[in-house]
Amino acid sequence: MVKGIIFDLDGVLLSTDEYHYQAWKAIADELGIYFDKTINNKLRGVSRMDSLDIILGGKYYSPLDKQRFAEKKNNIYRELLNDLSPSVVSDDVRSTLIALRALGIKTAIGSSSKNTKFILQKVELIDMFDAISDGTNIIRSKPDPEVFLKAAEFINLNPSECIVVEDAYSGIEAAKAGDFTAAAIGDAQSHPKADYKISRLSDLLKIVK
């Protein structure tokens, strides 16, 4: 029986994945490194520093330079986040969260992003979750299951009682490594380990009923 749902943020609840792409593209262009949406898909769910390593593809830069690039990327990203407002949350997302909570299902966030709480506040979604597990409370990012295991712990449920909703290959890997049921949306739909493939968040209501 499903007692809880753990949502990824970027690419699942919001289209902030597009902002991550634009910010990394600016950094890659500045460094003269080829970067496109296919490479960007490899960064989904992956921490900021690990994302930078993927973009740099083995090219050597000092730790200080890497720190500067990551900081610059985050500044560009935060600038783009200024556009966020409650109206960017789709009716499908908002109404699904309300419906799940009305069914007594616990809701949590499981995101690698250190900007999670800032974003949720900006779009006025923060009160829709019983717990938030994000980049600020983990050591290892996806595909390690830590962020989801913490989320389950925060809502006092076992992984077997929770569905993880993910748009990232790394997120599906993490969910399965943690013994969660995995629902894939967007890019993750082609992952062979996904237990469910959904095209919109409200499809979850058919799964839990």
How far is Cα 146 from Cα 21, in angstroms, rounded to an integer? 24
Q: Collect all residues with Cβ–Cβ distance below 8 Å to 26 and sequence separation of at least 6.
A: 73, 76
Task: List phi, psi (to 5°) of 116.
Answer: -55, -55
Q: Which is nearer to Mg ion, 149 or 166 (CB)?
A: 166
| Contact characters 143-182, Mg ion, x per CB under 5 A | ------------------------xx--------------
Concatenated DSSP letters for 24-75?
HHHHHHHHT----HHHHHTTTT--HHHHHHHHHTT----HHHHHHHHHHHHH
Residue in the shown chain whose Cβ atom is closest to Mg ion: 11
Please report whether residue 107 would count as binding ligand B16 according to CB under 6 A. Answer: no
Helix (H) or strand (E) holding 182: strand 181-184
Q: Which is nearer to ligand B16, 17 or 173 (CB)?
A: 17
| Contact characters 113-152, ligand B16, x per CB under 6 A | xxx-------------------x-----------------
* Interface segment toward ligand B16; rule CB under 6 A; list 39-47, 94-102, 120-128, 194-202: 39-47
Clarify whether 36 is annotated catalytic.
no
Residue in the shown chain whose Cβ atom is closest to ligand B16: 111
* Shortest Å distance, C-beta 74 to ligand B16: 6
How far is Cα 4 from Cα 133, in angstroms, rounded to an integer? 14
DSSP 107: E
Task: List phi, psi (to 5°) of 131.
Answer: -160, 155
Positions that interact with ligand B16 (CB under 6 A): 8-11, 17, 20, 43-48, 51, 74, 111-115, 135, 168
Positions that interact with Mg ion (CB under 5 A): 8, 10-11, 167-168
